[in-house]
Structure 1
Amino acid sequence: MQYPCLIAEVLSPATEARDRGIKQQSYMLLDTLQTYILITPERPRIEIYQRRDDRAWEYMSIAIDGIDFEIDDPLIHIASLDLQFPLSIIYENIDFPKQQEGD
């Protein structure tokens, strides 16, 4: 990676601590990086860190309860790329396990 403006990490149990720790810290020191996204593969949840004009990082977590994108499909906005898309795009063709009653 020479000059990334966006990095997205798909989390896994084996690498999550590293992805949220030293890798995230290293990435956020990159001058060109504007957006860092952490994607949870087991359920519809992403975390977005976006660099503001004052160079500080802004955090946003987007998740939906249940897995019905027809009822709830929030829009993701990546300001640095002037890009907007529904959360369901990230999880297209993913079969989530059925939730148990009371989950």
Structure 2
Amino acid sequence: MYGFLNIGSLLLGLIAWILPIASLAKRNKENNNTWVIFSIVSISACVVALIFQILYNDYLVRIEDWSALMDTSKGVVRLSSLLAIVTIGLNVITAIVYNKKR
């Protein structure tokens, strides 16, 4: 069951990146006021993906799988940072594009 946390984290991370890109792709269409909702859902998906990683690390601590923690810790930190930075960047770009449009 805890293995699904990694899959869920990956899927939510992809959703966090796809939503602002989809919002930017349809920016030329009339009356596109859904970009705010897309940004909120994108950031929420990013947060939940990061929570899933924290829960998985907690599981590894509870079962005392120290070798798995030591092997994956650096990768989890780097990828979690990348997820957060790219998600924030995409949503900031989306906000700038839509605010210039007004």
Q: Shared fold (TM-score greater than 0.5)?
A: no
Bigger Rg over Cα: 2
TM range (shorter): under 0.3
The structure with the largest strand share of the pair is: 1
Give the TM-score taking structure 1 as reference length.
0.26
The structure with the largest helix share of the pair is: 2
Give the TM-score taking structure 2 as reference length.
0.26
